[in-house]
Amino acid sequence: LAKTTQPISMDSYEGQEVNITCSHNNIATNDYITWYQQFPSQGPRFIIQGYKTKVTNEVASLFIPADRKSSTLSLPRVSLSDTAVYYCLVGDVLHGSSNTGKLIFGQGTTLQVKP
Amino acid sequence: NAGVTQTPKFRVLKTGQSMTLLCAQDMNHEYMYWYRQDPGMGLRLIHYSVGEGTTAKGEVPDGYNVSRLKKQNFLLGLESAAPSQTSVYFCASSYRNTGELFFGEGSRLTVL
CA-based nearest residue in chain B for residue A44: B103
A102 and B41: CB-CB below 8 Å? no
Confidence (pLDDT) at B49 = 92
- Picking from B58, B90, B99, the nearest residue to A32 by CB comes out as B99
Sheet holding B19-25, edge to edge: B4-7, B19-25, B73-78, B65-67
A101/B contact by beta carbon, under 8 A: yes
The total of other beta-carbon atoms located within 10 Å of residue A88's CB is 27
- Picking from B41, B92, B105, the nearest residue to A42 by CB comes out as B105
Encode pLDDT of A28-45 as tens digits: 888 889 999 999 989 999
Encode pLDDT of A89-103 as tens digits: 988 766 655 556 678
List per-residue pLDDT tens for chain B, 112 residues long. Answer: 679 999 999 999 999 999 999 999 999 999 999 999 998 788 999 999 988 999 999 989 999 999 999 999 999 999 999 999 999 999 999 987 667 899 999 999 999 9
- Picking from A45, A87, A93, the nearest residue to B42 by CB comes out as A87
Q: Is the pLDDT of residue A1 over 90?
A: no
Confidence (pLDDT) at A95 = 61
Contact predicate B23/B11, CB 8 Å: no
